[in-house]
Amino acid sequence: MKTGPARILDTLRRATGRACSGQTLSGDLGVSRAQIWKHVQTLRNRGYEIHAEAGDGYRLDAIPDRLYPEEIRDGLATHWLAQRIHYFDSIDSTNRVALELAREGAEHGTAVVAEAQTAGRGRLGRSFHSPAYQNLYTSLVLRPDLTIAEAPTWILAAAVAVADTVAATLEDDNAVEIKWPNDVLLSGRKTSGILMELGAEATRVDYLVLGIGVNLNVDRESFPDEFRPLATSLASYSGRRIDRIDFTRRLYGELETTLDACARYGFDAVRGRFDARFKMRGRRVNVKQLGGRVLSGTALGIDADGALRLTLDSGDERVVIAGDVTIVKGPIAHDGPSGRSKEA
Amino acid sequence: MKTGPARILDTLRRATGRACSGQTLSGDLGVSRAQIWKHVQTLRNRGYEIHAEAGDGYRLDAIPDRLYPEEIRDGLATHWLAQRIHYFDSIDSTNRVALELAREGAEHGTAVVAEAQTAGRGRLGRSFHSPAYQNLYTSLVLRPDLTIAEAPTWILAAAVAVADTVAATLEDDNAVEIKWPNDVLLSGRKTSGILMELGAEATRVDYLVLGIGVNLNVDRESFPDEFRPLATSLASYSGRRIDRIDFTRRLYGELETTLDACARYGFDAVRGRFDARFKMRGRRVNVKQLGGRVLSGTALGIDADGALRLTLDSGDERVVIAGDVTIVKGPIAHDGPSGRSKEA
């Protein structure tokens, strides 16, 4: 059962820019005209611009730039993803909330959305810069029928969905790439990060939480000094403001399709799309591993488990399960069919 | 820096049953005799029996049956495990706290201990019956250098450590067995459950939380009806009260040794001990899988990833990654060297 304000909003929305009389609203909703006025005030307080004139009724002029669940769901084409959305104006971390929901039994597809995070988490316990009302911070509770060993491929699949959504939104396919394991770059600068946490029973995934942050409208000049050279947003890159609600809907749709394909056919179903975005292939990279050791070599691709395959300068092939990757500027080596490249 | 009461406790403990004069304590600790009295009262409030007589000083007569960190650490032989213990008289779930600590960067080996859990979690989101001051509920933050795929073997390794600690405490080797994947049985009844949750970066484990519950002194007659036929405690089985502090120390020691071996040499280092406790081998089992389907067959053992290997009635071999296992009463089939058994 929807709340009074939500039902008024539905009616005003259906009127698509025309006014609805207070009497009509009152009759449709079965509440007094005073009550209608109160609900309209509630909507205005939430940022909806609603025009009212005597005899003219109410007209929806503009919706606020807020990721309200009812806005995201209006026109959302998913079957199971984000059917339930937990919304926060500000929260410590959407992943923290989603983990708690997962552990309390939240169902597959449950989404958490926040306008701001006060303790947004990145990889390796790093913080994720999360200013308010600019970007998208969302975490999803997933309950795939998956072994723990297969779980990492779901980060890669999510990265594909994010990258494709960014490309479609900007109508710019070439600038978007995936930096292994979980960043999406726009013209070489980070615009999205993805984080995975999971609970397991024996070797099976019980729940999997995917945290996704996407810089949409934040001005990259406002980034902290240490991030500025490395990060961007869709708006800073393209020069135009992004409709955050529309982006979120597209992303959820893309994620559902991509993860469904993964669940049904495994990562192979997504590999073609991943490879198209994996522009590190053939490039020289440095991988800083835990403990500080740096591996230098040429990126070959990813293996079946989602690990990065490298050819070291010695010619040996190496599989890397985690680390910070830096792409070394320079020409791209074209690999032979063996997928192995030699140093020039 | 230890607190005043903890320092007095140290001194009284070192006196091993003899009295320490207030003057000596006051001099040693550099605080007034009134302060000493106050600290003694604090200790008494925590359940320490401290005898005081004029001219005779203070004497430690008995320590309380509480899993206080300073009690567990007194004589604890570990190098990294439980060097830091977070203690709760009552908490919703030790795993929930440990997960939060892990996500905040708590170091390898950080332990959480609670006297009672109000929302203790078992497998598949089930509750874990957790009455106060009877048992052990502990969760450990671990940061092994492990791929996600290897993580499930750490539950099995933990089960080995729990099983061996139970056997050593009861001085009864034969009654203790591991029920795949994460229960320890005493004479066929569950006495311990182990739960794993983890955070990951790409294919690498970032943190791993092991939750361990062991029924020590709880009277099995007090179990809820649905658990009673299936569960027991060390005390109910053996007829004697278990020193919970001593058990916890032993368990931490055993866990550290076992996990160190796993970290250094992989699960193979523990496999012999696991096999000795894996008495399901050769027995007919029913495995109820998610969705309700039941597989019937003969348990063969576990594979390298920690999954259960079964021979189905059809003769096919099957690997099971999760499920509820029921051991069917009946004779044990002795497998041939192929590890495959035929139906009679």
Lowest mean pLDDT among A166-170, A277-281, B252-256: A277-281
Tokens (6 digits) for B15: 């006196």
- Helix, strand, or coil (residue B14): helix
Q: Cβ distance B242 to B235 under 8 Å?
A: yes
Task: Check CB contact of B200 with chain A, cutoff 8 Å.
Answer: yes
Q: Which of A6-10, A73-77, A79-83 has the highest average model confidence (pLDDT)?
A: A79-83
Report the candidate in A143, A134, A141, A99 with the shortest Cα–Cα distance to residue A114: A134
pLDDT higher for A6 or A340? A6
Asked if residues B274 and B160 have their Cβ atoms less than 8 Å apart, the reply is: yes
pLDDT (tens digit per residue) in A123-145: 555 667 778 899 999 999 999 99
DSSP 8-state symbol, A65: S
Q: How far is the C-alpha of A150 from the C-alpha of A253, rounded, in Å? A: 22
Determine contact: A147 vs chain B, CB below 8 A: yes
Whether the CB of A105 is below 8 Å from some CB of chain B: the reply is yes
pLDDT at B124: 54
Higher pLDDT, A109 or A205: A109
Question: Using CB atoms within 10 A of its CB, is residue B142 exposed (0-12), middle (13-18) or buried (19+)?
Answer: buried
Sequence-separated (6 or more) residues with CB below 8 Å from residue B283: B298, B299, B327, B328, B330, B332, B333
Nearest to A328 by CA among A303, A300, A297, A291: A297
CA distances from A93 to A69, A113, A122, A289, B206 (A): 18, 10, 10, 26, 17
B198 and A203 within 8 Å at the Cβ level: the answer is no
DSSP SS3 for A40: helix
Chain A residue numbers touching B110 (CB-CB < 8 A): none
pLDDT of residue A3: 81
pLDDT at residue B1, as a whole number: 61
Of A148, A206, A306, the CB nearest to B151: A148
A234-275: per-residue pLDDT in tens? 999 999 999 999 999 999 999 999 999 999 999 999 999 999
Instruction: Please indicate whether, in this complex, the C-beta atoms of B152 and A203 are within 8 angstroms of each other.
Output: yes
Burial of residue A216 (number of CB atoms within 10 Å: 0-12, 13-18, 19+) = buried
User: Does the beta-carbon distance from A321 to B203 stay under 8 Å?
Assistant: yes
Other Cβ atoms less than 10 A from the Cβ of B3: the count is: 11
Q: Which of B182, B201, B306 sits opposite A123 (nearest CB)?
A: B201
CB contacts of B121 in chain A (<8 Å) are: 103
For the cut 50, the answer to whether the pLDDT of residue A335 exceeds it is no
Can you give the pLDDT at residue A126?
A: 65
Please check whether residue B105 touches A, CB under 8 A: yes
Q: Give the pLDDT score at A157.
A: 96
Count of residues in chain A: 344
CATH class of domain segment(s) A69-277: alpha beta
**From the candidate CATH numbers 1.10.287.70, 3.90.226.30, 3.40.430.10, 2.30.30.100, the one assigned to the domain spanning B280-344:** 2.30.30.100
A contact test, residue of B101, B103, B201 with most A CBs within 10 A: B201
Where are the domains positioned within chain B? 4-62, 69-277, 280-344
- For residues A325 and A179, the answer to whether their CB atoms sit within 8 Å is yes
Is pLDDT of A336 > 50?
Answer: no
Class of domain A4-62: mainly alpha
**In CATH terms, are A4-62 and A280-344 the same topology?**
no
CA B282 to chain centre: 27
Rounded CA-CA distance A284/A326 in Å is 9
Per-residue pLDDT of chain B (344 residues; tens, 9 = 90+): 678 898 899 899 888 888 898 888 888 888 898 899 999 999 999 999 999 877 778 999 999 999 999 999 999 999 999 999 999 999 999 999 999 999 889 999 999 999 999 887 765 556 677 788 999 999 999 999 998 888 989 999 999 999 999 999 999 999 999 999 889 999 999 999 999 999 887 788 989 999 999 999 999 888 888 878 889 999 999 999 999 999 999 999 999 999 999 999 999 999 999 999 999 899 999 998 877 889 999 999 988 888 899 999 888 999 888 888 888 876 665 543 343 333 32
Residue A13 contacts B where some CB pair is shorter than 8 Å: no
How many angstroms separate the CA of residue B298 from the nearest CA in chain A? 19
CA-CA distance, A239 to A242, in Å (whole number)? 9
* Contact A107/B at CB under 8 A: no
Cis peptide before A144 (omega within 30 of 0): no
Chain B interface includes A303 (CB < 8 A): no
**Mutate which of A126, A201, A293 to disrupt the B interface (most B C-beta within 10 Å)?**
A201
Higher pLDDT, A75 or A291: A75
